[in-house]
Structure 1
Amino acid sequence: MRVTPRVWIGLVVFVGYALLVLAVQSSTGIPYTEWGASAGDLFIGAVLSLVIATIVLVPLISWLGWWRPVLHERERSRHRWPIIAPILLAVIAIVGLFSADWGAVSGAFLFAALGLCLVGFTEEAVTRGVLLVALRTRFAEVWVWLISSTLFALMHLLNVVLGQPVPGTLAQVAAAFGTGTVLYILRRTTGSLIPAMILHALWDFNLFVLGNGTPGPAAGLIQALYLPVIVLALISVAWVIRGADERITPGLQPDGLQHRESRTA
């Protein structure tokens, strides 16, 4: 790695990303609650900031030389069954899409909503990518999960600045912690961040599409099944953490891989 991972670097990238997205979204003058009003509002209010963030993140991670640890675990979780939670979340999202009122979704809005899928790349690359790599230089894996998931959730507090009511934002923060745990489990069980990026994009795309028209009755499954999936994730995350040996020792990664911390007898 060109730059040795440090906790402060991960925090700077995290805060910088959050402030960049907030600055761009605030400058558009489109409140968070009106993003779904039209394709133009969705693109200018949300997608534009993600495009700019992507343009910044790709060369930044390349310059750091962190792509390998950002995108890949050294070893997958020994316990694979917790992947049930991410699979169920994906099923819920797909059911939601089948029950969406597609007649109320214009081609332009669909294009803008697909652009919103960039959130899967940007937020995962920052929180369960760069930040996670940085945290692994200092903390045990249980703290890596807890801190990265908590910061991912707290990042959604910025939506208050964009006009979202406080009660709804607090509920979103709580949900984001649970969803973040599901995505962390997916990274650990597959050994790659890419499936988490895809699931994150799918989930957000599903939510915005369902906000149009009158969805079918099956859309209620999202609310009914989401909480049980999150509870399952919060219970099963202990198994993907158990035995994890992803700790990075600064100065001992000549090939960009994560090396086991040296132990003394």
Structure 2
Amino acid sequence: MLDEKTRDKILADLNDTYITRKAMPLLTKTYPEIEIEDAYRIQEEFVRQRVESGRAVRGYKVGLTSKAMQEMSSATEPDYSAMTDDLFLPEDTPLDANRFFRPLIEIEIAFVMKHALKGPGVLPVDVIRATDFILPAIEIVDFRVGPEPGMTIVDTVADLAACGAAVLGANPCRLEDIDLRKVQGQMIINDKVEQEGLASAVLGNPVTSVAWLANKLSEFGITFEPGHTILTGSFVRAMPVKAGDEVIARFDQGLGDVLTAFE
């Protein structure tokens, strides 16, 4: 474990990356004694400061929910982060690539809550009852820490679980209208299908991802509120993007497309 002074220094360094535009080296290399609890405390304080400055928590993301993404970070469990309002971006609107450090894209399904949901003991059936609708989504993964060989879940957790932003589609679907496990998605970059897979790659069912996070956050007294948006995790491997790239996340079973572009 790190002492509070060291965690405060890491937090200050993370804030500085947004000014210098220079990513930090891996925390696990600079601070070999850092633990996952340290990383979540750093993340929590970072979000608290953003809220204090006028931002609002609009939802949460679950990451590393698929085998493909866990292999990328040498993780054996998911990670998570709160998401403030400025991390949700409109679809089909060009994004400034300079906003990001080393962006990757993922395709995901987002849950929008109708009712409050709080663990412990949340089951998938509770998630289904509490969900208003789901949306197709693109998550932009980004790294203020690393990425470098040897990166672990500790490095990503401290760094907002490597969340850069999310682009939500505007085509809502009800859970009862589809078999969520069998939803197939394609990641299309510049008209080429780069990745494709099934939503069942996310912990067997994205509903399980939401339940896992609700139970995990209950340890900190956090409740999903009505209107919160939960990104459930990618079911394909993340792919890099750059200025000039056009991206489509395409889903079947009526979820449709989400489009974005980098300039």
Higher helix proportion (structure 1 or 2): 1
Q: Taking structure 2 as the reference length, what is the TM-score of the superposition?
A: 0.29
More relative contact order in 1 or in 2 (CA 8 Å, sep 6+)?
1
